[in-house]
Amino acid sequence: MTPAEPDEIAQRLRGTPLIIMLDIDGTLCDIVERADVASIPGTARESLRTLIGKRDRGVHVAFVTGRSVADARRMLSIGGVTIYGNHGMEHLSESGNITGPKGWEDAGLALRDARNDLHAVVARFPGTSIEDKGFSLTLHFREMDMALLPALDARVAEIARARGVTLAPGKCVINVLASESLTKGDAVLEIVHELGGDSPDASILFAGDDVTDEDGFRALRAFRNATTVRVGAPDATTDAQFSVDTPREIHDLLDVLAVSRS
Ligand SMILES: [Mg+2]
């Protein structure tokens, strides 16, 4: 992984179609104590609007987020967006249809049982809460006493084993996914294939900041025309090719791309 400037990254993204895939929290906006007050600055929103408006010139923007589609749509408040929510399990198309993965009903039962168990955990560990996102659950522990973390981890792992669900750790969260869950890697590949990213003339970008984004970075390693960017302090274990320090550099990159495509 190489630290890079927004201009250098933009240089790699001159192909058409240009497929831009973005995580939201920690990538487009800073992570804040309460996820419901996180917001994307107006200038970045403007660049996104410009890029989304260039669909007829082969520019595509898709958001790939752990948030539910409904929550991400509310937060972005940009018309005609494509969103893969719940870590890739839920899809909002440009036309506004929301679809879930096939065979979801059975997987949903395991998740429901896990949710009931986790409510008892939240009662025992002050400062934790559960967010039910329909296709996945998120256990938040940002406000918990961190001395309790090993005990919390152990208890949640026990529930996951008993109920047959999968855990995906994040920043002060534990994501609980039905074991058949799709990942951000699946979502990223689906978007690339759907939009013609297999063409050697295409350019592909995926930016993310967290553990579940690594599935997306890994999935794109097979594509020579893909550029992957991790937001945050340099991390030797990432599968992303490039790193930038903060969401601010992603905003600058979007600005450069919006200008160069006009
Ligand atoms: Mg993130």
What is the per-residue DSSP string for 78-90? -TT-EEEEGGGTE
Q: Which amino acid is at 6?
A: P
Tens of pLDDT along the chain (262 residues) come to 899 999 999 999 999 999 999 999 999 999 877 777 788 999 999 999 999 999 999 999 999 999 999 999 999 988 888 999 988 888 888 778 888 776 677 778 889 999 999 999 999 999 999 999 888 899 999 999 999 999 999 999 999 999 999 999 998 999 998 877 788 999 999 999 999 999 999 999 999 999 999 999 999 999 999 999 999 988 889 999 999 999 999 999 999 999 998 7
- Nearest Cα to 113, choosing from 154, 164, 157? 164
Centre of ligand 1 to C-alpha 205, Å, is 15
Q: Do you find a cis peptide bond into 101, omega within 30 degrees of 0?
A: no
The number of beta carbons lying within 10 Å of the beta carbon of residue 205 is 23
| Model pTM score | 0.85
Q: Can you list the domains of the chain with their CATH numbers? A: 2-101+182-260 (3.40.50.1000), 104-178 (3.30.70.1020)
Ligand 1 center to 249 CA (angstroms): 15
Distance CA 236, CA 230 (A): 11
CA of 222 to the centre of ligand 1 (A): 23
Task: Kindly give the distance from the C-alpha atom of residue 252 to the centroid of ligand 1, in angstroms, as a whole number.
Answer: 18
Q: How far is the CA of 83 from the centre of ligand 1 (A)?
A: 14
Q: Strand ranges (DSSP E) for the chain?
A: 2-3, 18-22, 59-64, 82-85, 90-92, 98-99, 129-132, 136-140, 165-170, 173-178, 203-208, 226-231, 242-244
Taking the centre of ligand 1 as the mean of its atom positions, its distance from the CA of residue 30, in whole angstroms, is: 9
Give the distance (Å) from ligand 1 centre to CA of residue 65: 7
Report the separation in Å between the CA atom of 213 and the middle of ligand 1, taken as the mean of its atom positions.
Answer: 7
